[in-house]
Structure formats: structure tokens, C-alpha cells
Structure 1
């Protein structure tokens, strides 16, 4: 099978793909403007094999010699024959990926409707929600998304100031969790308070309510709020929330935000199963 070839770094499509990898606000603007994100690596591509939103696969002659990569490419084409495959000159691959010894496979994914829906057009968001308040480390954000998916919290709102949920680093840290989640981002505190119907619970070190005493609260839909690594949850959200502390050894100052999120989400799951 013949695939379209890209041999020059000046190729317009190649430049567009590189823009999707940009960090900070430039990358976020590029992804939202194009409505696409870049999936890097075999694991992420395999996660979306068979999904029509995976519209383009990127590989190379070297990549197609890899059994795992060629299997993913041809399996996806069999299920989604409208998908395109672009074969990059192998020399371009180091420019495309910042992963060391990266396998020559990537994909362009159409962003889901929830990501592209303006927050002002969402009147209510019912049920369980995970809320990220200015969590800026991509590894933390991706880990929280993974914990949310694993604990069946399928709605995640990232308030303004968070790492972009569809950046390359967050996607890698999420390990495919994105496919299981409804992701909303760029919301203001007021938009959140207007739309979310579940009571807000904030994980904070000095709260009077102990996580392990919240059985009645956790049996019903809740909105867990996880705050910025340095500043915690904003004051106006704290004022609208119930503070919850995680009991830890007093010799340890605090937990990483992604660890705290996992503890809270899985305690919610444990209570409901019990």
C-alpha cells in the first residue's frame, strides 16, 4: 500500500503538526484552532485504534518494519478506511518527537465535542466531577486524569490556568485515560459554580472533616476539587466547598496533588462499593 510521503521539514502539514507540540499557550491555541491533538508513541495510538476520531497516522519506512506499529496501522485502516497514513522521511522523525529513541508512530486525533464546547453554553453538569484548579504540572494533570478514569469519574473540568489537557506531556502521563473521559477546560470559577450541581469537596491539609468519615457525602454525586501545587484551591472556591483532610503521618508535610486526588477518588469508589 502506498502512503503519502513527507520529505521536507518545510512541508506545510509537517509545520502544522509541529505547532500542535508547542508548549504553553501557543500549543493550546494551535490545538484548539485546528481541533486536533498529536498522539505520540505506540501505546497512545493503540488506545485509539478503531476510533474514527483518529483521522491521520504518521509513521516512516522504519516504523512500518516494526510488527507492532504495522499491525496498529493496518488494523486502524481496516476499521476506519477513511483515515490517512503519512509516511515521514526517517530523518524528520527526530524533529517530530521529543521522545528519546521514539518509535516511529504518531497520530492526529480530532478533539472531542466536550473539549471544544464553550463553557458558557453548558447550563448544567450533573453527577460526579473532578475539578482542577490551576494544576500546572503536566505530569500531575495526566496522573489525575488516569486516576479519574480508573475510579469511574468520567467528567473532568480544568479551570483557566491549568496545563492543557491535550498537550503531549499530559497525554503521555494520562496513558490513554483521555479516551474514557469527558474533558472540559478553560472554565472560570463562576462558570463552574453555575454549572456543576454536585456539592464541592476540597482536599486541603487543615480541613476539619476527615476523608474517612465522609461516608454519607460520598454515597451521592460529588465534585472533588484539586488545587494548584503551590497555592492550593482559590479562596472563592474554598468558600463554596466542604474542606476535607487526608489523614497522614504528621512528620510528612503534604501529599502531591495527584496522589491526593487518587486517595480521594478511590475512597469514594470504596465507600460506594461497600
Structure 2
């Protein structure tokens, strides 16, 4: 099967891919403007094989000689025949990916509407929620998404100031969890307080309430708020939430936010299973 070739870094589509990879506000603006994110690597592409949201696949002549890559490409075409496939010149892969010895496969994914729709259009958001309050490290954000999916928390709200949920680094750290989640971005504190119906539980070191003494509160839907690495949960949300602390050795000042999220979410799961 012959695929269209991209041989120059000046190609307009290739330039678009580079923009989607950009860090910070530049990349976020490009992803929101185009409504697309870039999936890098075989694992992420495999996660979305069979989904029409995987609009375009990029590989190379060398990539198609890899059995795993070839299977992903041809499976996607068979299930979703409208998928477009491009072969990039091998030299372009070093410009496209910052991964060492990156496999020659990437995908252009159409973002779900929940990531693009304004919060004002939602009347209520019922059930369990995880709220990310200005968490800026992409690795932490992706790890929390992966943990939330594993713990059965499928609704995630990222407040303004968070690392973009569809950035390359967050996608890699999420390891495919994005496909299992309903992701909402760019919300304000007030929008959270207006739309989220579950009671807010804020993980904070200063709280008197011990996580492991919670029982009845965790049996019903809950909205866990995880605060930024440096500042913690914002005062506005903290004022409306029940503060919950994780007991740790007093010689240790605090936990990494992704570790704290894992403990809170899996303790919620444990309580509901007993």
C-alpha cells in the first residue's frame, strides 16, 4: 500500500505537528486551536487503534518494517478506512520526537468535546471527580490521570494553571489512561463550585481530619482536590472543602502530589470494597 510522503521539515503538516508538541502556552494554544493532540510512540497509538478520533497516522519506511507498528497502522485502516497515513522521511523523526531511538509512529488525535467545551455549558457534574488545582508538572499530572483511571475515577477537572492534559509529556505519563477518562480543562474555582455536586475533599497537610478515619464520607460520591506542588489547594476551594490529611512521619515535610492522589483515591476504593 502506498502512502503519501512527507520529506521536508517545511511541509505545512509537519510544522503543525511540531507546534502540537510545543511546551507551555504555545503548545496548548495550538492543540486547542486545531482540536488535536499528537500521540507519540507505539503504546499510545495502539491505545486508540479502532477509534475514528485517531484521524491520521505518521510512520516511515523503516517503521512499517516493524511488525508491531505495521499491525497498528493496518488495523486502524481496516477498522477506520478514512484514517490518513503519511510516511515521513526517516531524517524527520529526529526533529519530531525528543525520545531516544523513538519508534517511527505517531498519531493525530481529535480531542474529545469535553476538553474543548466551556464549563459554562455544563449544568451539573455528578458523581466522583478528581480536581487538579494548578498542578504544573506534566509528569505529576499524567501520573494522576493514570492512577485515577486505575481507581475508577473517570471525571477529571484541570483548573486554569495546570499542565495541559493533552501535552506530549502528560500523554506519555498517562500511558493511555486518557482514553478511559472524561477530561475537562481550563475551569475556574467558581465553575467547579457551581457544577460539581459531590462534596469537596481537599488533600492538605494542615488538616486535622485523618484520611484513614474517613468511612461514611467515602461511600458516597466525592470530589478529591489535589493542590499545586508549591502552594497546595487554593484558599477559595479550601474554604468550601473538607480538609483531609495523610498521616506521615513528622520528619518528612510532605508527599509528592501524585503519591498523595494515589493514596486518597485507592483509600476511597478500599473503603467502598469493605
TM-score, normalised via structure 1 length: 0.99
Q: Equivalents in 2 of 1:233, 1:90: separation in Å?
A: 46
Where 1:186 maps in the other structure, the secondary structure is strand
Pairwise CA distance, 1:250: 1.6
Partner of 1:26: 26
Query: More displaced, 248-257 or 53-62?
Result: 248-257
> In structure 1, how many angstroms separate the alpha carbons of the residues matched to 2:24 and 2:2?
36
Q: Which residue of 1 aligns with 2:243?
A: 243
SS in 2 for 1:255: coil
Name the SS of the counterpart of 1:209 in structure 2.
coil
Gaps of 5+ in 2: none
Question: Which residue number in structure 1 is paired with residue 153 of structure 2?
Answer: 153
1:162-241 equivalences in 2 (<5 Å): 162-241=162-241
Cα deviation digits, residues 18-70 of structure 1 (max 9, x gap) = 11001100100100010000000000001111111001000001100111100
> Aligned residue pairs: how many?
274
Gaps spanning 5+ residues in structure 1: where? none
Instruction: Please state how far the C-alpha of 1:172 moved relative to its aligned partner.
Output: 0.1
Secondary structure of 2:240's counterpart equals coil
**Residue 253 of structure 1, CA deviation:** 1.3
Structure 2 match to 1:62: 62
The whole-number CA distance in structure 1 between the counterparts of 2:231 and 2:93 is 39
Q: How does 1:105-124 map to 2 (within 5 A)?
A: 105-124=105-124
List 4+ stretches of structure 1 deviating above 6 A: none
Aligned with 1:239: secondary structure? helix
What residue in structure 2 maps to residue 78 of structure 1? 78
Residue aligning to 1:47 = 47
Matched residue of 1:205: which SS? coil
Q: Distance in 2 between matches of 1:50 and 1:97?
A: 24
Corresponding residue of 1:265: 265
Alignment of 1:139 onto 2:118: no
Tell me how far apart the structure 2 counterparts of residues 214 and 77 of structure 1 sit (CA, whole Å): 49
Give the structure-2-normalised TM-score.
0.99
Q: Supply the distance in 2 between the matched residues of 1:215 and 1:75 (Cα, whole angstroms).
A: 46
Superposed CA deviations along residues 102-149 of structure 1, whole A, max 9, x for unmatched, are 000000000011101111111110000000000000000000000000
CA RMSD of aligned residues (A): 0.6
Report SS of the residue matched to 1:39: strand
Q: CA deviation at 1:249?
A: 1.5
